[in-house]
Structure 1
Amino acid sequence: MLWTTGGDFMRIMCVDDEEIIREGLRTLIDWKAAGFDEWAEAPHAARAIELIRLQPPDLIITDIYMPVMSGIEFARTVRAEHPGIRFIILTGHEKFECAQEAIEIGVARYMVKPIFPEELQEAVSAVVDEIISERTANKWSEQAKQRLREYKPVITEQFWVELLSGSLRGEEAIRARMQQLDIELYAESLSCVVIKLDMHAIATRYGRHNMNLIKFAVRNITEEIMHEKLAHIADIEPSQLHAVFRGEVNADSLAIVLRSFETTLDLNGCVGIGSAYPDVSELFHSAREAEEAAQILTMMDQTGIIGYKEIPTRKKERLDYPYAEEKTILDTLRYREEAQPNLLTPFYTALSQQRTAWPMTKLAFVQLLGSIYRVADEYDIGDSMPPFYDTYTELINAQSGTGIRELFQRLCELLVTCKNKKHSSLVNLLIDQAKAVIEERFSDSELTINSIAAQLCVTPNYLSRIFHQTTGMTCVEYLTQKRLAAAKTLLKHTRLKSYQIAEKAGYANSHYFSSLFKKNVGETPSQFRIGHGARD
């Protein structure tokens, strides 16, 4: 054995019954420079198979003619158990039948003796590229499976968000998603309950930073008391939870839940109950009813429990809240850099076409107002917005649709402006931190866009996007630029060997480093050193 270095290295094995041939192949090219860290050899196929069972190599070079077992039969036997092992078969006679058989069993190269160093180097380099590509693909595949396992809770929660919001429609599509996520909802009917929390009370008693902890406690209390019929609790909005139940909900049990909130957390809440629907595809109707019922109590500054069917105004007239138009407004606030003129017009038109009483229409605008302020809280810019009560008062006192539209347009433009300012400063800070990480760790061959993003607590996709938008180059291009600049300096001012410079510049594979250097600089490291002259 030679060159054992540890780590994720590549192994090569030479199998030939003549020791002089094995010795000649071992010294014919620089195997370490070719990418191999360990050399093994065997005098015949039987001994080679024993060694392979102990420690499989990545590449085997063998003669086609050997006693007991030929190179072709040897390759067929090994690849039956280890299909990832590559073979280069050497022969002194160029026979078409042998070459064809070698190709059929997956031999990487079939070479006719005598073998010259350049020919062997070229063949080995091609095999190394294949091995590296396969390892990279396997690593990506495993990472994808790991991400799927890690993100399953997130994907499951997203399913509930889409189901309850009504964006996921159709019995077949819903059942397919449920099967993928191992969700079972066997019941004659399903209903939704919205538990609306008092954000101001939570911020006063516990601090806004403990909101998630309080919602976790609320969830646990609800699950403990209502576990028999409870199917799921979805965290869709900062100020409320959506609970899905099998069948109709018992208001008395919910009253126990509210009393537990009060005694355990010193908090009151509003609970809206939606109707029970027989099909899971209709559950979003129950969710909307529960939201409206809870919102009624909130607007009336009351706590307690109310069912959708118990809302007095519902017995006289019905107003269908324009959720789709609201979503367009909120998506604009979240994802656009400006609030276009007449942003509120589709929402206002959807309400006015229903010809409901003005108080009911205003109530819908109050609900939209609360949604807009929740978006401001999401981006932590609530302090830059006018106090909610002041805006609420202006809305209630508005005497025309024009006044309401102007009010919301001003509010949306202010929110987008504040969000853009905050986002811009955060982006610049993230880019500076990313550059600092690269400057400090570029010589680490394990440094990738994923590890940089993980250190900065952002996703790789997000980091890549903002880095390119801000600097005009990708994060990988910037890292490569830093590494090659360091390599150039070492080539100019030291007499280190190419593989040593590759390691110091952050490349574990010197062959890959040389290829990348030539691709970006236009000449090999050796040519660059000759052209610039190494100096002590």
Structure 2
Amino acid sequence: MYKIIVADDEKVIREGMRDHIQWSELGYDLIAICENGLTAREALESYQPDVLLTDIYMPFVDGLELAEFAVTHHSRTKVIILTGHDDFEYAQQAIKFKVHDYLLKPILPEMLHEILGRLKKDLDKDRENLENWNKINEQLQVSLPLLRMRFLDQWVSGDLTEKKIAEKMKYFDISLPGDYLCAAVIDLDDTEEIQAHYPETDNELLFFAIQNICEDISKACSKHPVVFNNHLGQVVILFSGEEKLSLAEMVEQASGMILQSVKHYLKLSVSAGIGLPCAGLKELHASYRGALSALDFRYLLGGNQVIPIQDMAQKENLSAYNAKRLSTQLAKALKTGNSADMHAIIHLFFEELLSGNIPMKECCMHIQILLFAVIDVWQELHISEGQILEKNIFTEIFEMKTLQEAKHWLIDVFENTMAFIVQRRMDTGNLLANKAKQFILDNLSDPGLTSPMVCKHLSISTSYFCVIFKNYTNMTFIEFLTLCRINKAKELLWQTSLKTYEIAELAGYKDAHYFSVAFRKSTGLSPTQFRESRNRGNDDDELEEQVGN
């Protein structure tokens, strides 16, 4: 229902409209009937109606004056003029005061109904537009923080012109007084800390708490700082000041206080990267990028640090650091099993990175060169990545948060690889030694049996065979072959009645006399004396112990 006021100095018209017009059916609520312009003006102030239906000629204040007052003070009120004069001058004035309609007396109900019907449609449309506008305005108010944050993120990213920046700052009522601007970025060092300290707390609530601390401290240290979250989830603080040096000192001081407060109240570790102060709105992105780059040096320095980018200049003499040379030395240490050299090389490598203030990306590049060394060793020795690591080797290195953490991880990779190589060599050497022993036992009767024959059977070099055979049997090839042949002869002497020359042949000796000499040298007895002794019990145990498996 729309509120309507009727103003006319003629009582008959007033009462007729009150009693004979079905206002509610037309969609109106008749809230006041006024007999002159003065009471009508008071009713306008009191009720703020949607429609004013007024005569022109009235005491105190005429209808045109009333229409002017309504348009000036209640612009949403629609005015319909009633008059008994069909005068063009009146019509002109009515148009001037934005009168909605102009109705001549005598008033016919049908005509009034038609005018009020058209007016209701206009009022319905106005109401719908107003509701839509209110909804849009509400949505804008809700979205305003998000739009503000998006603008700030675009600004510090360098995506806007200076003119656009100034326009948006005015729109969002952002003020950064002073000739210089400086950006600081506050970032959580380890998200796993949240799970450790607050396992049942929503992460968003903690990030909001960190931002609140940043806002409170930055406002205490600077005039009109701007605090927002960037698209990386970090807190960005924009400071301003009149003098470059004092601005930089103030930003560093405020950042230190923020770190202490977050640690004290939230038990969380954050770091602050600080860019260089810059002049001009358009140059702020350079300070912001410097702050982000400063945070990368947590890789070198560890967490809970205030890191001004101006303190992190890389030393020129380390720009051509030769990681390739060290990777070659590491590969050699791996393959030779030299743990001391391996640790010394890795320690030297990381000392050079740390002392050189090398940025994180460059550090990772150098570390990758060392990783290629271990990968080359894996490929050479047919070792799969899964036998050493659970994840991809390059995925793991980029998960390291500090250089010290990367160092420990790299040492683990090389130690695990070295241990794997040693164990494999032990397993392989033991297998080869056992195969060699079996081949010797199977070919004892061959007087021409030599170590090259065994090597050919095993497909390994003579030098490698000599090393592993000695390591796993504690005997040389000749010593083992002689022992096996003497033990074979003992067995035949105990268990058969074969002649000495026949036993010599079966044991691999071409010359029976040489066999007898070798047998006496080994047992202290001649073959005949040994056979006569017949002391099988003890000798059986001795035979089993000496030959082995």
Distance 1:67 1:359 in 2: 87
Amino acid at match of 1:38: L
Q: 1:210 aligns with which of 202, 217, 224?
A: 202
Q: Which residue of 1 aligns with 2:181?
A: 190
**3-state DSSP of counterpart to 2:33:** strand
Distance 1:358 1:182 in 2: 38
Q: Post-superposition shift, 1:152?
A: 4.8
Q: Post-superposition shift, 1:314?
A: 7.1
Q: Which residue of 1 aligns with 2:227?
A: 233
Q: Post-superposition shift, 1:36?
A: 0.7
Cα–Cα, structure 1 residues 37 and 317, in superposed 2: closer, same or farther, change >3 Å? farther
Q: Which residue of 1 aligns with 2:411?
A: none
Q: Which residue of 2 aligns with 1:32?
A: 24
Whether 1:177 aligns to 2:168 is yes
Contact in 2 for aligned 1:248/1:276 (Cα 8 Å): yes
Q: 1:360 aligns with which of 359, 362, 369?
A: 362
Q: Post-superposition shift, 1:287?
A: 1.7
Q: Post-superposition shift, 1:127?
A: 1.9
Contact in 1 for aligned 2:27/2:120 (Cα 8 Å): yes
**3-state DSSP of counterpart to 2:273:** strand
Q: 2:236 aligns with which of 229, 233, 242?
A: 242
Q: Which residue of 1 aligns with 2:282?
A: 281
Distance 1:223 1:105 in 2: 52
Distance 1:253 1:195 in 2: 11
Q: Post-superposition shift, 1:139?
A: 5.1
Q: Post-superposition shift, 1:124?
A: 0.6
Cα–Cα, structure 1 residues 27 and 282, in superposed 2: closer, same or farther, change >3 Å? same
Q: Which residue of 2 aligns with 1:271?
A: 272
Cα–Cα, structure 1 residues 393 and 26, in superposed 2: closer, same or farther, change >3 Å? same
| Residue deviations 1:438-485 (CA, integer Å, cap 9, x gap) | xxxxxxxxxxxxxxxxxxxxxxxxxxxxxxxxxxxxxxxxxxxxxxxx
Distance 1:252 1:392 in 2: 40
Q: How does 1:398-477 map to 2 (within 5 A)?
A: none
Amino acid at match of 2:168: R
Q: Which residue of 2 aligns with 1:161?
A: 153
Contact in 2 for aligned 1:190/1:248 (Cα 8 Å): no
Q: Post-superposition shift, 1:205?
A: 1.7
Contact in 2 for aligned 1:273/1:293 (Cα 8 Å): yes
Q: Which residue of 2 aligns with 1:352?
A: none
Q: 2:101 aligns with which of 94, 103, 109?
A: 109
Distance 2:173 2:12 in 1: 62
Q: Post-superposition shift, 1:123?
A: 0.5
Q: Post-superposition shift, 1:192?
A: 2.5
5+ residue gaps, structure 1, are 1-8, 319-355, 367-388, 398-536
5+ residue gaps, structure 2, are 241-246, 321-357, 369-389, 399-549
TM-score (norm 2): 0.49
Q: How does 1:5-16 map to 2 (within 5 A)?
A: 9-16=1-8
| Residue deviations 1:14-72 (CA, integer Å, cap 9, x gap) | 33344333333335442102111234323444443444444343323344555676544
Q: Which has the larger radius of gyration?
A: 2
Q: Post-superposition shift, 1:293?
A: 2.6
Q: How does 1:255-270 map to 2 (within 5 A)?
A: 257-270=258-271
Q: Percent of pairs identical after alignment?
A: 28
Distance 2:195 2:23 in 1: 66
Q: Which residue of 1 aligns with 2:394?
A: 393
Amino acid at match of 1:87: V
Distance 2:57 2:294 in 1: 85
Distance 2:56 2:229 in 1: 66
Distance 2:169 2:238 in 1: 15
| Residue deviations 1:381-420 (CA, integer Å, cap 9, x gap) | xxxxxxxx946734759xxxxxxxxxxxxxxxxxxxxxxx
**Number of aligned pairs?**
328
Contact in 2 for aligned 1:189/1:248 (Cα 8 Å): no
Amino acid at match of 1:178: M
Distance 2:57 2:180 in 1: 75
Contact in 1 for aligned 2:176/2:239 (Cα 8 Å): no
Distance 1:86 1:124 in 2: 11
Q: Post-superposition shift, 1:206?
A: 1.0
Contact in 2 for aligned 1:193/1:242 (Cα 8 Å): yes
**3-state DSSP of counterpart to 1:248:** helix
Whether 1:201 aligns to 2:202 is no
Contact in 1 for aligned 2:5/2:49 (Cα 8 Å): yes
Q: Which residue of 1 aligns with 2:294?
A: 293
Distance 2:238 2:72 in 1: 53
Q: Which residue of 1 aligns with 2:81?
A: 89
| Residue deviations 1:191-248 (CA, integer Å, cap 9, x gap) | 3232221111112221374323333443455556664258333322565322334422
Q: Which residue of 1 aligns with 2:305?
A: 304
**3-state DSSP of counterpart to 1:213:** helix
Amino acid at match of 2:98: G
Contact in 2 for aligned 1:60/1:87 (Cα 8 Å): yes
| Residue deviations 1:310-349 (CA, integer Å, cap 9, x gap) | 546574669xxxxxxxxxxxxxxxxxxxxxxxxxxxxxxx
Cα–Cα, structure 1 residues 215 and 92, in superposed 2: closer, same or farther, change >3 Å? closer
